[in-house]
Amino acid sequence: MGRLVAFIILLIPGIMAAYGIKLMRDTLFNKLLEPYPALWLQFTLGTVFVVIGIGFFAGFLLNRDRKKGRVAKKFQK
């Protein structure tokens, strides 16, 4: 059960990052999607989604590797 919860927790930021990449791609091809009033806003929100999604995933991996002692000395607390 614990692995399923961890998988779902990691799945949500992954989907968010994928949606952010889609928003940025659609902006580059001048395709404005429905809930966004301007292309610049669509691209900005896409960038924010990608940064938050990848940042959460990277932080999760760093925290897990710190607990197991697999990181370089400069990343240890």
Instruction: Tokens for 26, please give them.
Output: 């659609």
Single pTM value for the model: 0.87
Predicted local distance difference test score (pLDDT) of residue 59: 94
Predicted local distance difference test score (pLDDT) of residue 77: 80
Instruction: Tokens for 69, please give them.
Output: 């002692």
Per-residue pLDDT of the chain (77 residues; tens, 9 = 90+): 888 998 998 999 999 999 999 999 999 999 999 999 999 999 999 999 999 999 999 999 999 999 999 999 998 88
Q: Could you give the count of Cα atoms lying within 13 Å of 18 in the half-sphere of its Cβ?
A: 6
Predicted local distance difference test score (pLDDT) of residue 6: 86
Show me where the domains of the chain are located.
1-70
Residue 63: exposure state from Cβ atoms within 10 A (0-12, 13-18, ≥19): exposed
